[in-house]
Amino acid sequence: MTRARQPGEKRLREAVIETAREMSRSGLSPGRTGNVSCRFEDGMLITPSGKRYDETKPADIVFVSGEGNIFDARQIPSTEWHFHLAAYHARPDRNAIVHTHSMHATVLACAHKSIPAFHYMVAAAGGKNIPCVPYATFGTAELAHHVAEGLRDRDACLMANHGQIAIGKTLQHALELAAEIEILAEQYYKVLTLGSAKLLDDREMSSLLKKFRTYGRNTES
């Protein structure tokens, strides 16, 4: 199968690369780990499998259709493309995904710990906590299902024994949220070294969620 490139597609491919490079430069995902995608046409544009981000070119970014078809047999998308596609199906209101193996989010994920309402910024992910979804082997339909469920009413989740995933209306929003999740994970990890965290109650979190509907990264820019 072949497909014609669409107007604006090259710019989006470049944006996916730049987001992946910034993810790597910032330390959110070391080496070749992690992956980035954005919604495009009925599917998505996603980083390729196993390629260094500083060597990735626009032509390397892979288009995967909404049905999971890959039109260029020479291209291999990230092994995690299944959960990216599942997340887009679950969240038609979000257009970008950043998946990282950031240190503290991964530590909590390996302990199967969600991030509770210990800090008001937890509401930035769209809910009263940041869940940790069950473990499944990478690249499988089972993991895709867990991620889709975890993101159905959240903009971020941890993935057991794996890492974290953040979604946003734009690539920049998703990247910013991934960075915020790592900060929260580090803070929560350090609170746990002192004992149990003092959590905000549901009433306060409900109030915060209303405020976050107009907070910076959730606006329509």
3-state helix, strand, coil in the chain (%, to 5): 40, 15, 40
39-49: burial string, b at 16+ Cβ within 10 Å, e else? bbeebbbbbbb
Residue tagged 């992946």 (tokens): 20
Task: Choose the catalytic residue: 80, 142, 180, 220.
Answer: 80
Q: Measured between alpha carbons, how far is 20 from 139 in angstroms, rounded to an integer?
A: 19
* DSSP string for 157-204: EEETTTEEEEEESSHHHHHHHHHHHHHHHHHHHHHHTTSS--PPPHHH
Strand 132-133: give its sheet, edge to edge. 62-64, 43-46, 35-40, 96-100, 163-168, 156-159, 132-133
Decide: 174 and 98 in contact? Cβ < 8 Å: yes
80 flagged as catalytic: yes
Tell me the three state secondary structure of residue 151: coil
Q: Which residues are known catalytic residues?
A: 80
